[in-house]
């Protein structure tokens, strides 16, 4: 409990610096490009469009119960895009901020938080597009939309825990950052973003619950598409928080143990 309280105090004490760094990080991701921050929306939308072309037009695919494919895909790709963007940036957060790491005053454990907040800016813009897509199809989110806060929190907790772990290890083994994209590619197809859980054989369905991103994408769909409570599958919810908290505790432990060596290695 004490490390959590200490971390919370550091977030409050450095809140202005964290927000400033998050804004700068978001802008510098596209620095030197003509489109600037517009690329934060164009790139994920290009991915959505390509999947829509292949699966909706090519394979004539639809979501469960006749839900349009673009809506079914977008409501899951929205959190996936945020999670992967935040995790990738968090993995390089320590290596990419050498000047801050070497300042003993600055709490380096907040660097993944900076990148998560930076990714949130683009996430909010993409969320607005998702609302527009839903309205085009005549889908008006109901009370479940308030669950977006919970769904977003789930993505933040998982990204932060993994971010601490990967950011710390990446300082000593730079292959971690390079291999992350490969891992995320497998993770994407292991998560029901393009496909539905109903397509799995019954004997495999219990295994999907141990994929923590599954609960995140389903929570977004519950909020935006289905208007059902996120606790409708209590087993899925419980497994997510057990796994996410274990990852978070382990990630924080590894980060704290390796933190004293960062300045020497970088």
Domain map (residue ranges) of the chain: 2-265
Structure tokens at 64: 């469960």
Nearest alpha-carbon partner for 28 in 95, 118, 93: 118
Share of the chain above pLDDT 90, in %: 47
Q: Give how far Cα 138 sits from Cα of 51, 132, 181, 193, 234, Å.
A: 21, 10, 36, 21, 30
Predicted pLDDT at 158: 97
- CA atoms of 162 and 254, how far apart (whole Å): 11
Predicted pLDDT at 202: 83
- CA atoms of 5 and 40, how far apart (whole Å): 34
Cα end-to-end span (Å), the chain: 30
> 44-100 pLDDT, tens per residue?
778 888 888 888 777 777 778 778 888 999 999 999 999 999 999 999 998 888 888
Q: In whole numbers, what is the pLDDT of the chain averaged over residues? A: 87
Over residues 11-15, the mean pLDDT reads 80
Q: Degrees (nearest 5) of the Cα angle 26, 189, 170?
A: 50
Predicted pLDDT at 58: 76
Predicted pLDDT at 1: 60
> 18-27 pLDDT, tens per residue?
888 888 887 7
> 116-141 pLDDT, tens per residue?
999 998 899 899 999 999 999 898 88
> 155-185 pLDDT, tens per residue?
999 999 999 999 999 999 888 878 899 999 9
């Amino acid at each position: 409990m004490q490390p959590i309280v200490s971390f919370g105090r550091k977030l409050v004490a450095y809140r202005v610096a964290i927000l400033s760094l998050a804004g700068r990080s978001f802008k510098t991701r596209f620095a030197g490009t003509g489109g600037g921050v517009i690329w934060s929306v164009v790139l994920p939308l290009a991915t959505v469009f390509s999947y829509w072309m292949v699966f909706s037009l090519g394979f004539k695919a639809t979501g469960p119960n006749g839900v349009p494919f673009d809506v079914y895909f977008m409501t899951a790709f929205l959190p996936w895009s945020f999670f992967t963007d935040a995790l990738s940036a968090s993995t390089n957060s320590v290596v990419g901020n050498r000047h801050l790491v070497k300042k003993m005053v600055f709490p380096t454990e907040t660097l993944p938080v900076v990148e998560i907040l930076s990714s949130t800016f683009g996430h909010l813009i993409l969320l607005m597009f998702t609302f527009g897509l839903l309205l085009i199809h005549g889908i008006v989110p109901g009370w479940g939309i308030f669950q977006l806060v919970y769904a977003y929190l789930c993505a933040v907790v998982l990204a932060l825990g993994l971010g601490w772990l990967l950011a710390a290890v990446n300082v000593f083994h730079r292959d971690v950052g390079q291999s992350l994209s490969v891992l995320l590619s497998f993770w994407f197809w292991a998560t029901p973003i393009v496909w539905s859980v109903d397509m799995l054989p019954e004997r495999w369905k219990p295994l999907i619950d141990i994929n923590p991103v599954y609960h995140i994408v389903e929570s977004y769909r519950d909020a935006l598409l289905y208007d059902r409570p996120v606790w409708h599958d209590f087993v899925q919810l419980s497994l997510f928080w057990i796994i996410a908290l274990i990852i978070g505790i382990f990630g924080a432990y590894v980060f704290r143990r390796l933190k004293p060596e960062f300045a020497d290695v970088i």
